[in-house]
Structure 1
Amino acid sequence: MSQPAVHRWIKTECGRAKYADLAQRPGPLAKLRLGWFVLIAALRDWRLPDQSDG
């Protein structure tokens, strides 16, 4: 099973869990918050090694 493309930028397990939670929320403000989260998480995780299972 392949991982979502966003896992290339969000590398920590807690960040991926938070992404999954935010991605399920409906509404335009939720989508704005999701985009903001992905931007900040990608910047913070930029230098970290990937923590994928496998």
Structure 2
Amino acid sequence: MKPTAFRWIKSDCGRAKYADLAGRRGAIAQLRLGWFILFAALRDWRLPDPDQTSGS
């Protein structure tokens, strides 16, 4: 199952970095993960969602 954050993080490199940061423990790591999600979502805002299937 994919994390909910993948709705906002759309690039492959961003998803890999998310997986790396999500695996770390501690308060600072969680703060850094939140910071990363915020900026990755802003950066990937205009990218198409790779999980969405195109077709009717």
Both structures adopt the same fold (TM-score exceeding 0.5):
yes
TM-score by length of 1: 0.88
**Root-mean-square deviation (Å):** 1.5
> In the aligned structure 2, how far is the partner of 1:25 from the partner of 1:3?
18
Query: Equivalent pairs: percent with the same residue?
Result: 66
Asked if 1:20 is matched to 2:7, the reply is no
Corresponding residue pairs, total: 53
> Which amino acid in the other structure matches residue 50 of structure 2?
Q
Give unmatched runs, 5+ long, in structure 2: none
Q: CA deviation at 1:11?
A: 0.1
Provide Cα deviations, 1:1-54, integer angstroms capped at 9, x if missing partner. Answer: x42211100000110000000001011000000000000000000110012386
> In the aligned structure 1, how far is the partner of 2:22 from the partner of 2:52?
21
- Structure exhibiting the larger radius of gyration computed from Cα positions: 2
Structure 1 stretches of 4+ moved >6 Å: none
TM-score by length of 2: 0.85
